[in-house]
Amino acid sequence: MYKKMENKAKIYGEDFEGYLENALKSYGYLFPTTDEQMSCFEENMEEFPLPKEFESPDFIFAKKGKRNLQKKSIVLDNSEAERNWALAAREGKEIPEEILLKMKRDKEEAKKKQNGIK
């Protein structure tokens, strides 16, 4: 009626837990953690090809048409604090007008570079 198991493993206690964990990882029921477990998993895994529409990320926008996603930038006006820090760095002395203009130009150029404008 039933075949007799010839290669029966004799596993007790902690050995059983290790054996079970290894088996679960080898057959994909848990994530494989060793090369041996991964090899066993890959041997027993069926490959299913992706449908054509999923080969490109454009399938997300297929119904709505292509969209160009752009990163939003948040501009914070921190000019008063910057002026106070600049004054503190010069021990309360006024900053010459030419330096203030250069600082303003540098800041504007940095914003342009950050937004991708050259």
28 & 59 share domain = yes
Does residue 27 lie in a domain region? yes
Give the H or E element holding residue 4: none
* Entry pTM: 0.34
Cβ-based neighbour number of residue 25 at 10 Å: 19
Among 67, 87, 106, the domain-final residue is 67
Q: Do 45 and 17 belong together in one domain?
A: yes
> For the chain, how many structural domains are there in total?
2
User: Are 63 and 83 within one domain?
Assistant: no
Report if residue 40 sits inside a domain: yes
Rounded mean pLDDT of the chain? Answer: 76
State which residues form the domain around 51. Answer: 13-67
Q: Are 37 and 21 in contact (CB under 8 A)?
A: no
pLDDT tens-digit readout, 18-52: 888 999 999 889 999 999 999 999 888 888 888 88
pLDDT: which is higher, 108 or 114 = 108
Residue 81 and residue 14: Cα distance in Å, rounded?
Answer: 64
1 lies in some domain: no
Work out the average pLDDT over 69-84: 71
Q: What is the dihedral of CA 77, 79, 82, 88, to 10 degrees?
A: -140
Q: Is residue 7 part of a domain?
A: no
